[in-house]
Structures are given as C-alpha cells and as structure tokens.
Structure 1
Amino acid sequence: MLLTFKQITGMETGKNVEDHLKVHKVKKKILRKQVRAQHTLMRHEGIECVSHATQSLVIANAGLGNGMSRHQLHRIVENYGIVETLLMPPNKPYSFVKYESTEEAKKAFDALNGKEVTPEDTDQNIVLYCNFVEKVFWKNSVPANLPPGLKVIENIISSEEERKMLESIDWRGDENNQNAQKTLKHRRVKHFGYEFRYDNNDVDKDKPLPGGLPEICIPFLEKCLKQGYIKHQPDQLTVNQYEPGQGIPPHIDTHSAFEDEIISLSLGSEIVMDFKHPDGQTVAVLLPRCSLLVMTGESRYLWTHGITPRKYDVIQASELGQKVGTITADVRDLTLKRRETRASFTFRKVKRSSCNCIYPSVCDSQKGQQRRAEPSFPHSELQASELEQEYVHKVYEEIAMHFSSTRHSPWPRVVEFLKSLPEGSIVADVGCGNGKYLGINKDLYMIGCDRSKNLVDICGEKHSQAFVCDALSVPIRSGSCDACISIAVIHHFSTAERRLAAIRELARLLKPGGTALIYVWAMEQEYKNQKSKYLKEKHGSKDKEEESNTGTSQKLLDDEKPDSSIQGSSCSDQLLDDSEDKGCAAKPVADSRLPVHTNRTSFHSQDMLVPWHLKGGNKKKGASVDKVSSPAGCKESQELSPVFHRYYHVFREGELEAACGSLDCVRILKSYYDQGNWCVVLEKL
C-alpha cells in the first residue's frame, strides 16, 4: 500500500499548510495581546494573573467602563459552564468571572481569548483577552450617605402630571419670545421668571421676564411649600433638556443669586447626578423619573453637582437594587443603562441681599472681601498638583536644613519593622526626608527617594543612597522590593484619589509576599481615653517644647512635626489666630478655605495648613534669615523669620485601612495607633 506524503511526514501540504500558518500567526498575536493585557492589569490595577488554570478569569475589554452590560457579558460567559460569580467593577474596562469548575474556566479561556464582540447599542467591535486569577475579589465600597441637606423624594408627581409638564414646554423656539430656548454645548435650556446669565452665573434681578412661571407649575409648587420641601415661593425656573450623551459640568449655584432651597424635578428619564465635596469625597445619586431633588445647607452651598456627559449610567442591575439614593460600589449588582431624553425643572427663589453663609471660601459675596488668592480644597487633579507644589514641595525645599536638624531620632516601631526584615532584603524608603531610616539596619540594601532635592542632598552628605522623584511615580522596577516604608508622606496628598495612588505605587514596588509600613497623621489625638504626648505637652514649659523640636521627644510624624508649630485646628469653618504658638509668629491665612491649625490642640478639620517657623536660618548653610524668599506657602514675622505653611490631610480612624483594603493586590497584616499616627503593615499578594 502506498502512503501519502501527509501520512509519512505528519505534515499538511499546499493550502492546508498555508491555513495552518495563518492560524498559528493569529494564535501568536492573541497570545501577545493577552500577555500585554496581563501586564497592564498588574501595572495599573494591581491584578495578579497566574499561568496555571483556576476557576476564575479576569476578562480584559469586557467591563462597564467600555460599554459591556452585565446582561450581555453573562449571556456570553454562561455558554461555557455554570457561573458562580460575575463581578463588574464600576468604570473599569474588565470584569471577573468565577466558574463552578476549573475545567469550565479553561473552556471559557480557550474560547474567549481573541473573541470579537459588539457591545449592545454600539457598532464598534471589541476583542476580549482572558487571564486566570487565583480569586475573584473586589473590595466593595461602603455605601456613602447622601450629602448633608440633600433629599430625593420619589414619585412626587404622577405620570399624567409629568406628561402635561413636558408638553407645556415648546422647544420649537421663538426668536421674539424672551423665554425661547438657548442651545448650549451640553443641552437645551429655557428660563422663566428671570433669565440665568451664563456669562456671570447670575440673574439680572431688575429685569424679570414677562409672564412669570408657567401656570402648570403652580399646583406643584404649592404642594412643595405645604410639605415643607421649600420655605419660599420660587420665582425663577430653568428647564434643561438632556439628550443621551449630554450633561452639565460640576458647579455650585451662585450663593448670592438665590435663596437656600433649590429643588429640581426629573422628568422623562432617570439620571445619575454626581456630587463632590471639596475634600474629594464623591457621591453618585440616582434621580428616578418623577422624583424631586431638594438641595439645602451644605449640599447646596459647598458640594458641587453635575451630570457626566455619557450615553450610559452605571446603576443597580436588579429591581431590588434600584433604590433612591447613592449608587453603591457593590459590583455583584451593577450594570449599564442607556440614557433617554430627560428634562429637569429647577426652581429657585431670587435672593435680594448678599449671602452670609458659613462657607465663605466658596461664597461669591464673601470672596469679594478677600485680599488675595488663598489656598483652597482642590477640585481637580491640576488644582491638587498645584496646591501640593506650593504648600508641600516648595516649602520642604525652603526648610530642608532646619527640618533635618529636628529629625534625627528614629521611631521605635519603624526601627522594629526594619530590623525584622531578613538579611539582604531590598527596601525602598519612599519619602525618605533626610534619610534617618536608611542606615538603621546594616544588613539591608536600602534606597531612599524624596521630592525635595535639598533633603536628598542631605542624604548624600550622610553617604546614603537616595534620589529625587515623586511618590506617585517611583522609577523602580515593579516587584523588585522586599519591603517599603512610607513614613509621614501620604498625608501630604490633597485628594483621596492621589492618596490611594500613592499606596498603589508602594504595592507595585513590592514582590509577592513583600511588606510595606505606612504612617500618617491621625485625626484622633485622644485615643482609647489616652491623650497623645503632643496634647499632653500643650501647657508644657518652653524647654519641653524646644526639646520636642530637636527630635528627642518626637510625638507626631511629619516626619513628625514642625518646630513648636504642630498640627491641630480649633475650627473647620474659620481661620484661627496662632497667638498661642510659643516662638512662632504664624498668622492665619486670611479667609482661606483651608484653616491654619492652632498648636497643641485637637484636630477639628481633616484638611489644613500647618505652620513651620523657620528658626535661625533658611535651607542653605550660612544664609541669613532676611534673605529667605517668601513663596505662597510662607509668611514672615516682623523679625523677618519666615513662617511656612504645609498642607496636611489627617486620617480618621479606619480611613487608612479602608484605602489600603480597596486594593485587592494587598492584604493588611497589622494596623495600629502610635502616638498620634495611624499605621498599617501591608503584604503584597
């Protein structure tokens, strides 16, 4: 019997060989992109993939963040086995799926890698890439409460009333009618009673529009007055119409333009409105169809509110989950919902006098009294970076020599951590200051980094290894360190997002099984009925204060504390006189949103400016005091001794642990309180 070439060689010929090569090429391309996805997930999200098969997969490009709904993804993954868990983190371009067996997960892995799918209601294909993970886990955020003074009342009107109110607005426009709509970049809008002017975010109180408010709104407003949702009869109405993909930028309604209560009726479709506090806290609030939003007090005057321009909102998937209030981060029950055309009727009462609210830093009436621009809570990444540049980085450059002279006594529990590490461990001190911890354990290979060049120069004078960099971007290879320490650094970042990014960067540096020690200032200077030594010394002698300035009796990490000026603020809403500061000529930063602390007092604000009184000289050896420059973070006393102000965010109990716990690439081994500081020890998973 004659054998064919294919039978003899086991190889195919002609077109079969060509097809085989094409398949091989495609598989090679998929593998390359799969590995790239794996590296991206690890680098940016801390998700560690494994090379062996498990029950669980992370699927890149199949997330809420790139248009994949829960229903569609579940329909895809259930083709390969019984799905135990499907987690879709909000706004992320990936999801986790756990199957009942490893065999089912392997089947999905083989089928889905390189698979092209089209998200619902779009015409753009996406390609899925899978990797195995040991476990499916996402730290659920604690559902946030509504901002103070905010209410959402469901079903305030009937569907029939909704229909009539929508029909009462004629969007065809009439150029001769002063109420004709304006077409803005993000929406269409009509005004009644008074026209809202977008050039100055105010109304012309002497030029009311003819006709007043629409008659159809009067019964509704009488109902709101009767039920106590408003105290004043509104005389201004703004009607906004939003198509899918449209929104309104974050803003605070001008204080002096309107009275306290502002109410907004949602018609035609539900929407998610985003509220943000100046300290970075955000709350996503679901406004159902036919619901009323009531803003008073803090939610009206301090929090920004806006609608992100997008075609989908992340909402609770189940009927049970769809409730009024905040949208939780429970990724077991989140999905996308396509927006529909929505109209909002926002009613206000025009204010006839200036505003005298308790939020002067964001009040247009009281801002006019400011003598100069002052630091405030950042509302954007750019503002946060600028605040830290002026009130952290520049200040440390100026005070480096004096700061270093007060920082020579290491903290016992930090020393204990370093001495517990195995011989030969590679350790990074991120935010090393003058490098006082770099030589603690001679059996370790330690390297330091700091944003301040002058402090790094001091490390060099001590023959320690250190370099200049930002703690958010450390130029050290991922997974190369056995341990990291971050001592009194993270509290200098001015938003929750940037503080979390700093923790994530520490985790990136660690090898699996590596550990990190983090110290931050604590809001609680009295803990378990014990005052920190910082508070105990409030009425101490000048000698005792001077002793603490030299580092022999350090209590609170900054790296621990400024000279005799250390944290605390007696009031979160107004600035305080630092006249109690012994030897410190610090004065409050006038009318600032950020309060200046008062020495030796408890904290009453989490975000503040902490004075540093530069005694006896400036950053450079031999320089005279009167030659010290005065950046934005500095004021000078009558004796020309400058006082610098540094930004701090002090952490409440549990806040540091919650931030660390939100990263699924680490676990908390230990957390404790150490003389006015919250501390955690993390392990890289």
Structure 2
Amino acid sequence: MGLPRFGRPKGFEGDSSPNLYVANCGPAVGLSYDSIASVFSAFGELKGVFAADDSGARVIVSYRDESSATAALEAFDGHPCPDLGGRSLHIRYSVIQPTSQVNDSVPVSLMASELNIPGLYLLQDFVSIKEEEELLAAVDARPWKSLSKRRVQHYGYEFCYETRNVNTRRKLGELPSFVSLILERISSFPNLDDSANIVLDQLTVNEYPTGVGLSPHVDTHSAFEGFIFSLSLAGPCIMEFRQYAECAWLPNHTSSPSMKMQSPEDDKSFLRRAIYLPPRSMLLLSGEARYAWHHYIPHHKIDLVKDSVIRRGSRRVSFTFRKVRTGPCQCEFPQYCDSQR
C-alpha cells in the first residue's frame, strides 16, 4: 500500500488523534524510521512511521489508538529525547486526509517478471560503481541543454520534444566513445535472440534533480525501432507503466507528427504497474512494453518500495539508447501506433 495522505496539523480542531506530526525528527537529521518506531512504540502499538513531507526532517507517527498518541505527545513535545540523539521534538496531532481520488500509488516490484508486461527486462548492476563514476564525469565534462525542469544531452540524433520525433536528415555524429562499453554489453543482453544484431544510433542523457520525474508517454513508434535501453545512474527512482483503454491521445493524422495530442491523463481507465530502478541498473523496453505501455516517472522526492521509504538522490542521470527508424512502423499494436492510424 502507498504512503497515507496526512493533513497538515495547522488548524486541526480535534482534542486528540492517533496520529502525531513530529518535527526535528527523520532521516535528514540522522534518525532512521526503525529507531523512531522503537522509541515511540513504548507508548503503544504503532501502525507505522511515515514521511510527513519531502524534507526528511518531519515524520508522522501513527498509533492504533489515541491514548497512546496522547501519552507520547505529553512525554516528548518540547523536550530532549535521549534515545533519539538528544533532539528536542516538536509534536502536534495530525489527521489522515480524506480523499475521493484514486490512490496515486501502486505496489512497486523489484523484478520485471513480477509486472507481467511482455518485453520488459531489468538487469541490476549493469555497470560497476567505478564505471558509473566515469560515465557521470564524461557527461559532466560536456555541455548540457536546459529544459524546463531537467537537463539533457543528445548524441547521434537530436530528439525534438515539440514533435516527439527526430530529424533523420540531421545526424550529429557517432555515439561517443565513453559509451562503447555499454554498447558492447547490450549486444549480449540476455533473453533476446536477436539482441546481438542491434545497432543503436541515438542516445539521450537526462539529468533529473530531486523530485523531478517524467510525464506518461510512449516513445513515438515512427521515430524509433523496437528496442529501448535505459541505464539509471547516480540515484534511484520508480518507473510506472500504464496501458490505456482508449487511444484518444494519439494524433488522428500521421502526416502531421507535430499535431497536439490529448494528454493521457484525461483518460482514467488504465492498467498500472510499477518497478524500482536502482542506480546502475539497465531497463529494456521491447515488444509490448515498448509499443503498448506508457512509461512514467512520478514527481516524488520519496518513494515507498516494499514498505521501505526510499529517498531519491540529489540527481538521477539516465542514458537512453535507441535506434532511429527510417520507415513507417509496422508493429503488432496498430491501436497505439502513429504510423498505422
């Protein structure tokens, strides 16, 4: 289950609540969730300890009953707590925020096989820590292009965000030498009989600051062929996959790739899957995963993975490798294909 939605304690008009908003407490000030739970559990059974916000310095301590929360508040509010590094805690009651919206979280898997999406693969530790450092140093030595919320670099061909396509008549050159090792390993990627014949000629490097994600999208069928490889470096993230029942987000006329599309967010009927991408892991989208599922990175600073709270790093850098398509797409998913609609 996802993180509960707690209301801010400002303006709370109740005498008490089983939930406590605790400031000056959390991973950002050197206190683990386990250590916090251990101290507060002395006053009663806990439902859990949750992040109150993205700061890492404020938590919600949730009890089974109100009397336990009251006892903890009276004992700790405004007083140093020896078992929590001597920190003075600032505590108020909090409440779970009622909502009629669909929960915006989805259970997160650690393995691609758990998602049951054909063509989706994830290899962990695809590069070593030393190789990761060298790759990051290589791109940081080159100029970045700033977008609204992130920075990018393009190699081989430049991706045009306005048309969601590439200009095949304007080649930037060969892929840089610092990714040669990655390309060599991709050529022997397991589970794909024809992976050795893959010739990748386009690379986009994305740098995501903390809390910045990616809107739901399918890489344009007519722009790229059937294999998309994405290497995650520096920081972790959650990637969600969505398959929409309707295809209103596709342009009606393939002759105009720049046509404005309806946002997939307007369609609330979709299947959802999510996977955790640790640093140095390589994700492959192929077949149905590439052609028929939107992929999406939620705009979070904190993710819940198997009941563990994972803070995103100060940056995440992805290397996405693709093969530019030179003709129309003839995939097996015409309902999602801009070439076949």
User: TM-score normalised to the size of structure 1?
Assistant: 0.35
Matched AA of 2:166: V
Secondary structure of the corresponding residue to residue 366 of structure 1: coil
CA distance in 1, matches of 2:119, 2:298: 22
Q: Indicate whether 1:335 and 2:309 are aligned.
A: yes
1:237-386 map, 5 Å: 237-278=203-244, 279-310=269-300, 312-316=301-305, 328=306, 333-367=307-341
Match of 1:209 among 169, 172, 187: 172
- Contact (CA 8 Å) 1:262, 1:348: kept in 2 or not? yes
The structural deviation recorded for 1:109 is 5.1
Structure with the bigger RCO (C-alpha within 8 Å, sep 6+) is: 2
Which stretches in structure 1 are left out of the alignment for 5+ residues? 1-29, 39-56, 116-124, 132-139, 174-180, 317-327, 368-685
CA distance in 2, matches of 1:303, 1:91: 32
The residue number in structure 1 matching 2:151 is: 188
CA distance in 1, matches of 2:226, 2:30: 39
1:483-632 map, 5 Å: none
CA distance in 2, matches of 1:354, 1:163: 38
CA distance in 2, matches of 1:284, 1:91: 23
- Contact (CA 8 Å) 1:112, 1:130: kept in 2 or not? no
The residue number in structure 2 matching 1:97 is: 63
The residue number in structure 2 matching 1:502 is: none
CA distance in 2, matches of 1:61, 1:277: 39
CA distance in 2, matches of 1:354, 1:68: 54
Match of 1:232 among 193, 198, 202: 198
Matched AA of 2:175: L
User: For 1:422-450, what per-residue CA distance to the aligned partner results, in whole angstroms no more than 9, with x for missing partners?
Assistant: xxxxxxxxxxxxxxxxxxxxxxxxxxxxx
CA distance in 2, matches of 1:227, 1:260: 15
**Alignment CA distance shift 1:218-1:130 (3 Å):** closer
The residue number in structure 2 matching 1:593 is: none
- Contact (CA 8 Å) 1:269, 1:339: kept in 2 or not? yes
Matched AA of 2:275: V
Q: Indicate whether 1:168 and 2:138 are aligned.
A: yes
User: For 1:592-644, what per-residue CA distance to the aligned partner results, in whole angstroms no more than 9, with x for missing partners?
Assistant: xxxxxxxxxxxxxxxxxxxxxxxxxxxxxxxxxxxxxxxxxxxxxxxxxxxxx
CA distance in 2, matches of 1:366, 1:295: 20
User: For 1:66-122, what per-residue CA distance to the aligned partner results, in whole angstroms no more than 9, with x for missing partners?
Assistant: x999935852772571664443579999653348xx97554125457899xxxxxxx
CA distance in 2, matches of 1:189, 1:90: 31
Match of 2:162 among 199, 221, 225: 199
The residue number in structure 2 matching 1:402 is: none
The residue number in structure 1 matching 2:39 is: 78
CA distance in 2, matches of 1:293, 1:245: 21
CA distance in 2, matches of 1:264, 1:35: 49
- Contact (CA 8 Å) 1:69, 1:336: kept in 2 or not? no
1:135-150 map, 5 Å: 145-146=114-115, 147-150=117-120
- Contact (CA 8 Å) 2:48, 2:63: kept in 1 or not? yes
- Contact (CA 8 Å) 2:236, 2:278: kept in 1 or not? yes
Secondary structure of the corresponding residue to residue 300 of structure 1: helix
CA distance in 1, matches of 2:182, 2:10: 61
- Contact (CA 8 Å) 2:202, 2:323: kept in 1 or not? yes
**Alignment CA distance shift 1:274-1:37 (3 Å):** farther
Q: How many residues align?
A: 274
**Alignment CA distance shift 1:356-1:73 (3 Å):** same
Rg comparison, structure with higher value: 1
- Contact (CA 8 Å) 1:114, 1:128: kept in 2 or not? no
Matched AA of 2:214: I
The residue number in structure 1 matching 2:258 is: none
The structural deviation recorded for 1:141 is 7.6
The structural deviation recorded for 1:240 is 0.8
Matched AA of 1:339: G
- Contact (CA 8 Å) 1:33, 1:129: kept in 2 or not? yes
The structural deviation recorded for 1:284 is 2.6
Which stretches in structure 2 are left out of the alignment for 5+ residues? 1-8, 54-58, 80-88, 96-104, 245-268
Matched AA of 1:35: G
Secondary structure of the corresponding residue to residue 200 of structure 1: coil
User: For 1:168-195, what per-residue CA distance to the aligned partner results, in whole angstroms no more than 9, with x for missing partners?
Assistant: 214552xxxxxxx321012110111111
Query: Taking every aligned residue pair, what percent have the same amino acid on both sides?
Result: 32
- Contact (CA 8 Å) 1:269, 1:341: kept in 2 or not? yes
Higher fraction of strand: 2
CA distance in 2, matches of 1:32, 1:187: 36
CA distance in 1, matches of 2:329, 2:289: 16
The structural deviation recorded for 1:340 is 2.3
The residue number in structure 2 matching 1:218 is: 180
The structural deviation recorded for 1:143 is 6.3
Secondary structure of the corresponding residue to residue 299 of structure 1: helix
- Contact (CA 8 Å) 2:73, 2:92: kept in 1 or not? no
User: For 1:25-69, what per-residue CA distance to the aligned partner results, in whole angstroms no more than 9, with x for missing partners?
Assistant: xxxxx997242997xxxxxxxxxxxxxxxxxx334689xxxx999
1:37-48 map, 5 Å: none
**Alignment CA distance shift 1:240-1:32 (3 Å):** closer
Secondary structure of the corresponding residue to residue 166 of structure 1: helix
Matched AA of 1:149: G
User: For 1:379-406, what per-residue CA distance to the aligned partner results, in whole angstroms no more than 9, with x for missing partners?
Assistant: xxxxxxxxxxxxxxxxxxxxxxxxxxxx
- Contact (CA 8 Å) 1:70, 1:88: kept in 2 or not? no
- Contact (CA 8 Å) 1:357, 1:363: kept in 2 or not? yes
Match of 2:123 among 147, 153, 176: 153
Higher fraction of helix: 1
**Alignment CA distance shift 1:68-1:150 (3 Å):** farther
Match of 1:58 among 19, 23, 39: 19
Match of 2:71 among 107, 110, 116: 107
User: TM-score normalised to the size of structure 2?
Assistant: 0.67
Match of 2:48 among 87, 95, 101: 87
User: For 1:532-576, what per-residue CA distance to the aligned partner results, in whole angstroms no more than 9, with x for missing partners?
Assistant: xxxxxxxxxxxxxxxxxxxxxxxxxxxxxxxxxxxxxxxxxxxxx
Matched AA of 1:207: R
Matched AA of 1:259: E
Secondary structure of the corresponding residue to residue 279 of structure 2: coil
Secondary structure of the corresponding residue to residue 249 of structure 1: strand
**Alignment CA distance shift 1:172-1:158 (3 Å):** closer
CA distance in 1, matches of 2:328, 2:75: 66
CA distance in 2, matches of 1:241, 1:271: 12
- Over aligned residue pairs, what C-alpha RMSD do you find? 3.8
The structural deviation recorded for 1:160 is 1.7
- Contact (CA 8 Å) 2:108, 2:276: kept in 1 or not? no
The residue number in structure 1 matching 2:12 is: 33
Matched AA of 1:108: A
User: For 1:205-231, what per-residue CA distance to the aligned partner results, in whole angstroms no more than 9, with x for missing partners?
Assistant: 121113x10112123212211234545
- Contact (CA 8 Å) 1:150, 1:299: kept in 2 or not? yes
